[in-house]
Structure 1
Amino acid sequence: MKHFRLSSLFNFSSRFGFRNSPGVSLYSTTTYRPHREPSRGTLNDLYRRISRAGDHTAPISPILDQWIEEGRTAPKGAFVTIIKELRQYKQYKHALEISMWLSDKRYFELTIADVAIRLDLIAKVHGIEQAEDYFNNIPKNLKVLEVYCALLNSYARAKLVEKAEDIMQKMRELGFARTSLSYNNLLNLYHQTGNTDKFNVLMSDMKEKGILHDKFTYCIQISAYAAASDLEGIDKVMAEWESDPKVLMDWDSYSNVAISYKKAGNVEKALAMLERSEKLMSSSKRKRGAYEYLMTQYAALGQKDRVMRLWELYKKHMKIYNRGYISIMTSVLKIGDIESAEKIYDEWESSNLSFDICIPNFLIGAYTRKGLVDKALVDKAESIVNRVIQKGEKPDARSWHYLARGYLDHDQIEKTVELTRKALSVEGSRWTPDGHVVAACMEYMKQKADVEGAEEFIRLLGEKCSFPISIQEKLLDYINNEDSVTVEIGDLEWDRRNGVLKEADLGSN
């Protein structure tokens, strides 16, 4: 397989700001394995450095540069493995930053798999338009099945039906739509958007063309039946899948089916699928991921005893890293078991693993959510923040914001404003503030006639939290207009497609 160097054709580091600043995945690039495996010691050391960055939105190129300046070396495969790991845990910005650094700083040649992964990451970090720009500049000889599937997958994830259909038609014309790889993306899109008729037509098209099902095709079918609460449909596809000698079921397959049975309302069958999944873990190359995922699935079904049983097995058979603690913390908190979460947190603190603010934040967030009925829990949350500081680490924006929300529930508005300002002062952290907290802060500053402070507060909301201009303008109008007596901010949600917060409801009078 030839490798092609793209960095000489277009330099995306300056375009995307990396030089100076910080369903189911239905396409795969694992067919291409051009990189030799790095030594485990080299990989672990570099990955630990990246993990210690703590803030998953802060730039990591200085860490990579320092690694090289120290005279350290690592094959390209080490970096590719780290990118894969970061993608698995949805740290897309860091994964993309490493990808860009490899070509712009180290001048490594990019394979087709590298290009497909970069396209996927650009879509997730910067949105569809920049992904299309990248795709349009890829040389023709690199625009193969995997790269087209990456773009199709991005359209499907953004629920852009027409664009997905257009690229699928182009793939048909190029002869790329001959396997389930391309069909799965469109099937999943039709399922997610409720296009039942188009879903059925595409399934018929696959049958007529003799396109065999793969694991993802079966999963999508089962998910579609689960959405319609059609237990018989799930059973039918399961029977077909289990009798298909070309598509064997692994632990991951059964865990996905368990989710569908739960969604369709049959907890008994969901548990049976998780039990089958457990039995297949020992033969998996991803035992660590299996333990972590199955704990969260048992937690979703309220099965505390099974969660703790798996946790003990996990600790017995494998060394536990931060991701293991994240999985068990989220699992026990999902069940509402704060006492177990506290014990696990203490265990993590004494483990001497690299610091990850996500782990204390799980407990801080749980305390403040329950603090509405018990002020002592808000005090516990603050004590966790103090412990973090005493250890020489830094709380992130979410740490301070969780505390602000807790104090607001007990009408300590001045403290709420102080903590929210601390959250906004944290560098490089993107987070979604609670609308009620923001509204309370604005009302407090207006009562104090702190126009200058309020304007700076609003500016930081735009800069650090990607508040839309429309919300910033309404907040400014509220502060500067004497006739405006209340401000209301409804639920805010992150618009992944455009990379901004989306206003659900905002009004000022």
Structure 2
Amino acid sequence: MFALSKVLRRTQRLRFGACAAVYSKEIHLGERSFFTLESPSIVYDKCESVPRFYEISSMSKRALSSNAGTKSDEDEDDLEDGFSELESSKSSQETSSSSDDSEDDEVTPKGKLSADEDDADEEEELELDLIETEDGGKTVEKKPSELFTTIVSAPGLSVGSALDKWMEEGNEINRIEVSKAMLQLRKRRMYGRALQMSEWLEANKIYEMNERDYASRLDLLVKTRGLEKGEAYMDKIPKSFKGEVIYRTLLANCVAACNAKRAEVVFNRMKDLGFPLSGFTCDQMLLLYKRVDRKKIADVLLLMEKEDVKPSLLTYKILIDIKGASNDINGMEQIVETMKDEGVEPDFQTQAITARHYSGAGLKEKAEKVLKEMEGRSLEANRRAFKDLLSVYASLGREDEVMRLWKICESKPRFDESLAAIHAFGKLNKVKEAEEIFEKMVKMDRRASSNPYSVLLRVYVDHKLLEKGKDLVKRMAESGCRIEAMTWDALIKLYVEAGEVEKADSLLKKASKQSHTKLMMSSFMYIMDEYSKRGDVHNTEKIFEKMREVGYTSRLRQFQSLIQAYINAKSPVYGMRDRMKADNIFPNKSMAAQLAQADPFKKTAISDILD
């Protein structure tokens, strides 16, 4: 039996107290609840089999701690929004963009080419799990279906009309064709069109809906219109179809939205309904707490041990990434060893995570050793590793290795490899080489994909090439590409880096009005941080509220920037602790210092004399 928590205890990075979650009465979606900790000698005798996770309104002195490491508390605080690999869950909403990859390659969002790498493989696994053929088999064909081509060719919001015409022409629509088209739309993150197709299918009663059809619709609704719309749709799903697949789909989307309150309520509801605790739900909670409250990671691990839920490959990836991001290399290595001892072999992505953290810690030899293991005996046989190899070698400054790898795949590069190469050469200050690869991609890409533009734009951002960035965006618009979330993100950062924060703010407003995409959280934070540095409290508060409106619930990082705006403005902060408490945000060491500095009632030497 595995003992991951013991491994973590031995590394003295995540200190686990002997504790367990206290249970309360049954709750329903939308209700508030609380999280406390008690000794297991008290809890286990009076509890049901599967503990519930509750939102934090206060933490006892026995609360689990996560004092990870070799960095100071201030540095550790900065890690909250800087984890390097698995920042988004399987149905990533934060990086929602209509990626237009080639049929042969997986979606490559911004994160795949930066330190905030998305777990696209895990996301694809979830997407496949929502799509079945009539015989129960999963549809994984890569060749575009005619139905998919028809939907993509339809202008704007006219997918329904295009499908009506398709039927009038005598074409048949069955579950197999729908599954093919749905998968291809999802792989390209064309969630709006996928939702239109789903609505049309139900309205026209093409076939009888099953649980996975309802789950797919729920997933698409949340991705395009937010959690509230998704929860409202759940009420309309027939009770007989409201099974585990429905709830885990909602849970994954709550985690993707970083909404701890809703995720915990859904988790508890699944328990109340008698669904067995699974590795999927535990992994989702780990992903959530990795981003919003690392202290509660211990609760999930202890729960998994108690309920004998074996860790999955994703479980290990998350823990390896947490250790690496906390600069606890010894702890990371012990988790890798535990993983191997349990018979779970690291895949390319796990190796890439490890190599990146070695690189970030300055351990070049160890990083290169892992990279050579990824290459194996034949690079051609391990083609899937190319994009990660290019990226990590670039972070190590190994121009020779990047050139060697690119020469191997240059004659017939895959889409994601080309994107990774643009990013890698950008890291190496080889802007000209990055531009040459971009030009080749544009000539070969028959669908006017936005991805090459977005990645090259990111290179221009990193090198503060404002004019080139502006020209690239104009060219992108002229080519017919739709500007998506990651493109807006790069463009907004470009203007912020150039000192034109007002222009960046104007772009943010313009992009926010687009209904087909949800802006990335970082797009707001670039502007918010800049206003904060200037001591512009009004505009910092404005961005703070805008983030809440679009669905990014308050996190420690946002409050840190907001409080710093008041400090820089030399303006007293009233009621900030109450605002944080209302959002279940509790100050860490660095934020406590911020609050003390901005406290309008703090004691000074002069005030003591006057008193």
TM-score by length of structure 2 reads 0.54
Stretches of structure 1 that go unaligned for 5 or more consecutive residues are 1-22, 412-433, 442-456, 468-485
1:43 equivalenced with 2:172 (yes/no)? no
C-alpha separation in 1, matches of 2:258 and 2:553: 18
Contact 2:144/2:184 (<8 A) preserved = no
**Which deviations, in whole Å up to 9, do the C-alpha atoms of 1:11-59 show, x marking residues without a partner?**
xxxxxxxxxxxx6458846567435677969626565666678x9x877
**Which deviations, in whole Å up to 9, do the C-alpha atoms of 1:127-162 show, x marking residues without a partner?**
111121122322223232232222222222233334
**Which deviations, in whole Å up to 9, do the C-alpha atoms of 1:436-494 show, x marking residues without a partner?**
3167x8xxxxxxxxxxxxxxx99967744999xxxxxxxxxxxxxxxxxx999669698
Match of 1:275 in 2: 372
CA change 1:248–1:109 in 2 (3 A) is farther
Match of 1:161 in 2: 260
**Which deviations, in whole Å up to 9, do the C-alpha atoms of 1:311-331 show, x marking residues without a partner?**
443455x6745x554443334
CA change 1:357–1:167 in 2 (3 A) is closer
Contact 1:52/1:354 (<8 A) preserved = no
TM-fit CA distance, 1:497: 7.8
Contact 1:29/1:116 (<8 A) preserved = no
TM-fit CA distance, 1:114: 3.6
1:233 equivalenced with 2:319 (yes/no)? no
Contact 2:258/2:292 (<8 A) preserved = yes
CA change 1:223–1:437 in 2 (3 A) is same
TM-fit CA distance, 1:499: 5.3
CA change 1:133–1:336 in 2 (3 A) is farther
Paired-residue identity, % = 22
CA change 1:62–1:342 in 2 (3 A) is farther
TM-fit CA distance, 1:75: 4.8
**Which deviations, in whole Å up to 9, do the C-alpha atoms of 1:216-236 show, x marking residues without a partner?**
111122122223321121111
Contact 1:405/1:437 (<8 A) preserved = no
The match for 1:340 among 424, 430, 433 is 433
1:330 equivalenced with 2:423 (yes/no)? yes
CA change 1:487–1:39 in 2 (3 A) is closer
CA change 1:436–1:208 in 2 (3 A) is same
TM-fit CA distance, 1:239: 0.6
AA matched with 2:239: K
Contact 1:332/1:338 (<8 A) preserved = yes
CA change 1:204–1:86 in 2 (3 A) is same
Contact 2:394/2:427 (<8 A) preserved = yes
SS at match of 1:43: coil
SS at match of 2:309: coil
TM-fit CA distance, 1:199: 1.9
Match of 2:304 in 1: 206
Match of 1:252 in 2: 349
C-alpha separation in 2, matches of 1:60 and 1:66: 10
TM-fit CA distance, 1:186: 1.4
**Which deviations, in whole Å up to 9, do the C-alpha atoms of 1:389-439 show, x marking residues without a partner?**
4xxx4365589999999999999xxxxxxxxxxxxxxxxxxxxxx743167
Contact 2:192/2:224 (<8 A) preserved = yes
1:394 equivalenced with 2:480 (yes/no)? yes
CA change 1:292–1:83 in 2 (3 A) is farther
AA matched with 1:248: E
Match of 2:447 in 1: 354
TM-fit CA distance, 1:339: 1.0
TM-score by length of structure 1 reads 0.63
C-alpha separation in 2, matches of 1:270 and 1:43: 38
1:143 equivalenced with 2:242 (yes/no)? yes
Match of 2:60 in 1: none
**Which deviations, in whole Å up to 9, do the C-alpha atoms of 1:60-106 show, x marking residues without a partner?**
55665565555555653344344434444544434434443443457
CA root-mean-square deviation: 4.9
Moved more, 88-97 or 158-167: 88-97
Match of 2:26 in 1: none
What are the residue-to-residue correspondences of 1:406-485 with 2, within 5 Å?
Answer: 435-437=501-503, 463-464=513-514
AA matched with 1:437: K
TM-fit CA distance, 1:241: 0.9
Moved more, 138-147 or 296-305: 296-305
SS at match of 2:275: coil
Match of 2:275 in 1: 176
Match of 1:133 in 2: 232
Match of 2:408 in 1: 313
What are the residue-to-residue correspondences of 1:19-30 with 2, within 5 Å?
Answer: 24=119, 25=122, 28=126, 30=128
CA change 1:248–1:70 in 2 (3 A) is farther
Moved more, 70-79 or 203-212: 70-79
Contact 1:112/1:147 (<8 A) preserved = yes
The match for 2:211 among 105, 108, 112 is 112
C-alpha separation in 2, matches of 1:222 and 1:369: 28
AA matched with 1:215: L
Flag the structure with more relative contact order, 1 or 2, with Cα contacts below 8 A and sequence separation at least 6. 2
1:192 equivalenced with 2:291 (yes/no)? yes
Match of 1:152 in 2: 251
AA matched with 2:550: N
Contact 2:354/2:367 (<8 A) preserved = yes
CA change 1:260–1:75 in 2 (3 A) is farther
Stretches of structure 2 that go unaligned for 5 or more consecutive residues are 1-117, 520-535, 567-611
Structure with higher helix content: 1
Contact 1:382/1:403 (<8 A) preserved = no
SS at match of 1:248: coil
Contact 1:127/1:496 (<8 A) preserved = no
C-alpha separation in 1, matches of 2:445 and 2:511: 35
Match of 2:550 in 1: 498
